[in-house]
Chains A and B, each alone.
Chain A
Amino acid sequence: ILNVEQSPQSLHVQEGDSTNFTCSFPSSNFYALHWYRWETAKSPEALFVMTLNGDEKKKGRISATLNTKEGYSYLYIKGSQPEDSATYLCASTGNQFYFGTGTSLTVIP
C-alpha cells in the first residue's frame, strides 16, 4: 500500500487568484503520478499523467510539476474561476492506483 497525501484538505480562493496544492507520495518504486478533477455528481476527469522527474504538464490555466526524487507533485491553477471549483485528486501507481483524499477547491465569485 502506498501512502499518498494531499494538502491542503480544502481551500477557498477569490475569483482571479492563483493557487496551488500538493500531492506527496513515496519516492521508492515510483511508476506514475496522475491528477484528476472531480466535480460533484460527475465522473472524475483525468488532467495529467506524469512519469519522469522534472515533468511539467499544462492544460489551459492548470499546470503540474513532478519531483520523483523527493516524492511530490504540485498542481497550479492560474487566475481561478468559479468553474474550477471541484475536488482535485492525485494518484500514485504501483501495482494499482493509490489515491490521496483530495483537495476541495472553492472559488468565490
Chain B
Amino acid sequence: SAVISQKPSRDICQRGTSLTIQCQVDSQVTMMFWYRQQPGQSLTLIATANQGSEATYESGFVIDKFPISRPNLTFSTLTVSNMSPEDSSIYLCSVAWGGFQETQYFGPGTRLLVL
C-alpha cells in the first residue's frame, strides 16, 4: 500500500483562474493517475501521469486544460486551467504498481468549487 497526500484539500476559486493540485506519495510508484468526480457522477480518469514524459490523456480531456507534471516517481501535479463552474469537482490522484488487476491506492482528494 501507499500513503498519499494531496494539497490543497479544498479550495474555492473564481472563474477564469487556475489551480494546481499536488500529489505526494511516500514511496516510489510506477503508475500515477488523476481522476475527477463531478457532482452525482462516477470517478472518471483524466490522465495517466508518466514520469519524465508527457501525460496520457483520456478522451474528453486535453493538456491545455489539465496540464500535468511528474518530475519524479513520488510526486505529480495537476493544474485546472481557466476554470469555470463546470470544473467544480473532487480531484483525486491514485497510484499503482502493476496492471489493472492490481489495487489502485487513492489520495484523499481535493474538493474544488468554482464560482
Interface, chain A (partner B; CB < 8 A): 4, 31-32, 34, 36, 41-44, 46, 49, 51, 89, 91, 93-102
Interfacial chain B residues near A95, Cβ < 8 Å? 100
**Min CB–CB distance B60 → chain A (angstroms):** 10
Instruction: Show 8 residue pairs from A and B whose CB-CB distance is below 8 angstroms, ordered by the A residue.
Output: A31-B101, A43-B92, A43-B107, A46-B103, A91-B43, A93-B100, A99-B43, A101-B41
For chain B, the count of residues having a C-beta within 8 Å of the partner chain is: 20
Give me 5 other A-B pairs in contact (C-beta within 8 A), A4-B42, A101-B40 excluded. A34-B104, A36-B106, A41-B109, A46-B103, A100-B42
Mask for B91-103, Cβ within 8 A of A = 1, else 0? 0100000001111
**Min CB–CB distance A56 → chain B (angstroms):** 17
Q: Which residue of A lies closest to B105 (CB)?
A: A46
The 8 Å CB contact of A51, one of B42, B43, B101, B103, is B101
Interface pair A96/B105, CB less than 8 Å apart: no
Interface, chain B (partner A; CB < 8 A): 4, 9, 40-45, 58, 92, 100-109
Q: How far is the CA of A100 from the CA of B20 in the complex (A)?
A: 27
Interface pair B103/A43, CB less than 8 Å apart: no
Interface pair B109/A97, CB less than 8 Å apart: no
3 A-B pairs with least C-beta separation: A93-B100, A99-B43, A32-B101
Interface pair A96/B42, CB less than 8 Å apart: no
The 8 Å CB contact of B100, one of A41, A46, A97, is A97
Q: How far is the CA of A89 from the CA of B108 in the complex (A)?
A: 15
Interfacial chain A residues near B109, Cβ < 8 Å? 41, 43
Interface pair A93/B101, CB less than 8 Å apart: yes
The 8 Å CB contact of A97, one of B9, B41, B45, B108, is B45
Interface pair B43/A94, CB less than 8 Å apart: no
Interface pair B42/A94, CB less than 8 Å apart: no
Interface pair A31/B100, CB less than 8 Å apart: yes
Interface pair A94/B108, CB less than 8 Å apart: no
Known: A42-B108, A43-B106. A99 touches B100 (CB 8 A): no
Interfacial chain B residues near A36, Cβ < 8 Å? 106
Q: How far is the CA of A42 from the CA of B109 in the complex (A)?
A: 8
